[in-house]
Structure 1
Amino acid sequence: MKVQNSKQLREVKSTLDNIPSLETSKIQKQLQDELLTLNKKIIVLDDDPTGVQTVNNISVYTDWSVESIKKGFSEKNSMFFILTNSRAFSASKTEEEHQKIAEHIATVAKELNKEFIIVSRGDSTLRGHYPLETEVLKETVENKTNLMFDGEVIFPFFKEGGRYTIDNIHYVQDGETLVPAGETEFAKDRTFGYKSSHLGEWIEEKTEGRFTAENATYLTLEHIRALDIDYLTEQLLKVKDFNKVIVNAVDYVDVMVVTIALIRAMKNGKNYMFRTAAAITKIIGGVADRGLLTKSELVESSEHGGLILIGSHVQKTTQQLEQLKQCEFIDFIQFDTHLVLHPEKFKKERDRVLYQCEQLIADGKTVAVYTRRERLDLGENKKEEELELSVKISEAVTSIVKLLKVKPRFIIAKGGITSSDIGVNGLSVQRATVAGQIKPGIPVWLTGEESKFPHMAYIIFPGNVGEVSTLREVVEMLS
């Protein structure tokens, strides 16, 4: 399928606005009835901390030990998250850790005699170690149990971030325009880049032809909006040999309808691996809606200032930073992260930033630390080396939190890798509770008792989410 041009994009936006709405109350009742029959623990493996951006009152574990997985299985909630942060890993480390995760899940499930579903939550703009992660999970689980996976569900819809799948093409909303994902800056990612916007062709591209667009199963908006759940279920029942299921969706009602069909297919003996964005976790996990979090729910009275750490390099983050600079009550510190090529200078730069943060936060001033906006470019065929340097940069940013002696009123981390490293290594969080969202698609952790700063609101702000003004609005609200 050809990528659509700008004129057609405007027509697509119009189509999105004019898709007939459905009465959701009846569908919600059907979904609730089906969820009651789904006696499986849902384990979401999150390749960065932003995957909890649709849920609330859900646990996030930051390691995948047998002990932590057993705690997750033992919770009353039907779902728990494991933060892998694998988008920051090399391919070899990703393979190694996902094999461990799958082995530990299989061990615990056997011990507790409990069935499970694995959701590999990836980026809604299609970046990440795909198909490596789900293929390692599939092979390891099948080797360790009698479970066999019939297919893989590809479901990147994420309304809060403006990610829609229409006619099997995945779109990213940019203002009033829907842009095919393959034409966005995300598709040009040096580590996880791609060309295809049509999800069947994207799979063919990513699997190097091992799975084809022709053999994929497509759940269309036409059948979803017609509430033809029997037909959708029949389609799912025919999937075999780990072929792919492409889900079209423009609203949560589409997720509900497809989830009903998926549960019915699973009750008929089918098993699926899931590669999704954040939307389906809310629906299949039966997570109730709740309003956006308020300042009084998140920030305790304190004489200290807040701390904002900005690491993401996507264009939207840079635009949001420029808007943030309009706030006169914030002190800004640029961290010259390109000095990572000179270790001694890099350590001195980190120490300078840390000292200034300490002084300003203690004086009651909110501080924004941001990395240089130009990406460090080592040239062609240097993906692994660049990833290694980005890890060192993230470790340095994280160490600012780790070494901080004063407790900020709040911490905001901008960017997936940045927020993961700060949460796990800077704040030493082992288990957090997702309080909800401060803005659509922007989750808040409440840190655990074991963390460096217990019971703190830790705002995880994805690099590619929100409008240009959203970061400034969040900081103004908290301040």
Structure 2
Amino acid sequence: MSSNKRLVEEVFNKIPSVDTGFVNEMIEKELKNLNKKIIVLDDDPTGVQTVHGISVYTDWSLNSIEKGFQEDNSMFFILTNSRGFTAAETTKTHQDIAANIVEAAKRNHREFIIISRGDSTLRGHYPLETQVLKETVEASSTNRFDGEVILPFFKEGGRFTVDNIHYVQYDEYLVPAGETEFAKDRTFGYTKSHLGEWAEEKSNGEYKADNMTYISLDSLRSLDIETIEQQLLAVKDFNKVIVNAVDYIDVKIFTIALIRAMNKGKNFMFRSAAALTKVIGGVSDKKLLTREEMMSEDTSNGGLVIIGSHVKKTTEQFEELKKSDAVAFIKFNVHLVLEPEKFEKELDRVVEATNKLITEGRNVAVYTTRERLDLGEGKKEEELKLSVKISDAVTSIVKRLKVRPSYIIAKGGITSSDIGTNGLEVKRATVAGQIRPGIPVWTTDSESKFPGISYVIFPGNVGTKTDLREVVEMLSKQ
């Protein structure tokens, strides 16, 4: 752990409290003045981890985006899964999405806001995606973006921004994000924890930390909404707005000032975690889902858990799950991907065993080899291609199921995306709510492989050590 870590209690005790009732009344009033469709682009399916009753579309065709515009809800999500894309693929995808949004907005005579939502917000194709969205929207409409709001606060995932430094919570400590395992990501790594310096680093110095606009906790907690609004009105040239936040109340206060600035003609792009979407979408709090709410039909079949993520938290949760009597485990040796024939046979074995156990009423956890495939230096592209092959194989387990499980849990962002779109063939799902804080559940649409099934999207880096085991045991009670 880093020497710059801080005790959670010490940091939070210094932050003044605020009248939440007053703020809640204000934000409710202000949201009524926001007559824009909110479109959230999700780089993996965990972005719905704070909302309920909201649609998620798994493609970005003009038809799907138009359906989103025509819904009564002020907000809808599009699952891009772009964290699994190359830079070229994500550029093309975001050009297509932006062009279709502009066209759908024209046809429906609506203004819109685009939020680029990232799982670990500092990872992913940033600033590429928001830059492409900006350029495409501006080239095909009269819209102009004054700035970009960066707001990675996500309470349920232990992500907090204090004094412009973004922290990840580990037990009772806050660790600067640049010193965590997430910063060492082989594809999307970074070194800075100060968000202004991070944005400067990511933009290769195009935007300077010194010139950015910082929304401090002091001005948020003293309800200095006018000053924040003035700060936002002064932003130009797509400069960055860094928002500090340690609780939802900070996001609400910021959003009040933001809506006022937007209603005076300012236009922003957003790069955020899942907290902003809940607040700006006006999504109410909802109790955690119960087993009764999630079981759509009476079945004696077992459930299915697929574990793909390799982050430390997933491994800890997996170790805990192994202690459960409620589950039968199947190891999928994905390192055989280097020998195609053996890999095919291994996949057939896993599929056959999974089908058999589910039919017998057993809950099955399929897990991939826990060690990462490492081909050595300079083999990033080859590794990426192999990881896609592995991901396709894992997805095909669900595709080849002959029996309907009582529920499906996917552990890991990219794993859950591939299983949702390819394995379950979901075109549109409704977010039922959360089974644990930050762990969303989709109800699949009528066109999917198993209509109306509860699909639990369990992010790799979210939840307590025992959450996975407890969720499985709760859903497995007959």
TM-score interval for Structure 1 and Structure 2 normalised by the shorter chain: over 0.9
Structure 1 match to 2:467: 470
Q: In the aligned structure 2, how far is the partner of 1:270 from the partner of 1:217?
A: 14
Pick aligned residue for 1:136 from 110, 132, 144:
132
More displaced 10-residue stretch of structure 1: 245-254 or 120-129 = 120-129
Deviation at 1:206, TM superposition (A): 0.6
The secondary structure found in structure 1 opposite 2:211 is: coil
Pick aligned residue for 2:304 from 284, 303, 307:
307
Render the CA deviation track for 1:97-129: whole Å, top value 9, x for unaligned: 110000000111111111000000012351101
Q: In the aligned structure 1, how far is the partner of 2:125 from the partner of 2:380?
A: 13
Instruction: Indicate yes or no: 2:454 matched with 1:457.
Output: yes
Instruction: Indicate yes or no: 2:391 matched with 1:394.
Output: yes
Render the CA deviation track for 1:221-263: whole Å, top value 9, x for unaligned: 0100000000000001111000100000000000000000110
Q: In the aligned structure 1, how far is the partner of 2:121 from the partner of 2:318?
A: 21
Deviation at 1:384, TM superposition (A): 2.6
Instruction: Indicate yes or no: 2:83 matched with 1:97.
Output: no
Pick aligned residue for 1:216 from 212, 218, 222:
212
Stretches of structure 2 lacking an aligned partner (at least 5 in a row): none
Deviation at 1:301, TM superposition (A): 2.2
More displaced 10-residue stretch of structure 1: 382-391 or 264-273 = 382-391
Render the CA deviation track for 1:5-28: whole Å, top value 9, x for unaligned: 53x533454121442322211111
How large is the Cα RMSD of the aligned pairs?
1.1
Amino acid at match of 1:423: G
Q: In the aligned structure 1, how far is the partner of 2:340 from the partner of 2:187?
A: 24
Structure 2 match to 1:262: 258
Equivalent residues in 2 for 1:108-119 (5 A)?
A: 108-119=104-115
Pick aligned residue for 1:429 from 426, 429, 432:
426
Aligned pair count?
Answer: 475
Amino acid at match of 1:231: T
Q: In the aligned structure 2, how far is the partner of 1:50 from the partner of 1:341?
A: 30
Instruction: Indicate yes or no: 2:400 matched with 1:408.
Output: no
Q: In the aligned structure 2, how far is the partner of 1:446 from the partner of 1:71?
A: 18
Instruction: Indicate yes or no: 2:441 matched with 1:444.
Output: yes
More displaced 10-residue stretch of structure 1: 20-29 or 73-82 = 20-29
Amino acid at match of 1:175: D
Instruction: Indicate yes or no: 2:346 matched with 1:349.
Output: yes
Q: In the aligned structure 1, how far is the partner of 2:449 from the partner of 2:57?
A: 16
Q: TM-score, normalised by structure 1?
A: 0.98
After the TM superposition, list the runs of 4 or more consecutive aligned residues in structure 1 that deviate by more than 4 angstroms.
Answer: none
The secondary structure found in structure 1 opposite 2:52 is: coil
Structure 2 match to 1:182: 178
Pick aligned residue for 1:369 from 341, 352, 366:
366
Instruction: Indicate yes or no: 2:142 matched with 1:160.
Output: no
Do the aligned residues in 2 keep the contact of 1:394 with 1:418 (CA within 8 Å)? Answer: yes
Amino acid at match of 1:386: E
Structure 2 match to 1:247: 243
Equivalent residues in 2 for 1:13-52 (5 A)?
A: 13-52=9-48
Stretches of structure 1 lacking an aligned partner (at least 5 in a row): none
Structure 1 match to 2:322: 325
More displaced 10-residue stretch of structure 1: 12-21 or 441-450 = 12-21
The secondary structure found in structure 2 opposite 1:214 is: helix
Do the aligned residues in 2 keep the contact of 1:121 with 1:275 (CA within 8 Å)? Answer: yes
Do the aligned residues in 2 keep the contact of 1:124 with 1:276 (CA within 8 Å)? Answer: no
Q: Evaluate the alpha carbon distance shift between residue 13 and residue 180 of structure 1 in structure 2; reply closer, same or farther with a 3 A threshold.
A: farther
Q: In the aligned structure 1, how far is the partner of 2:375 from the partner of 2:366?
A: 24
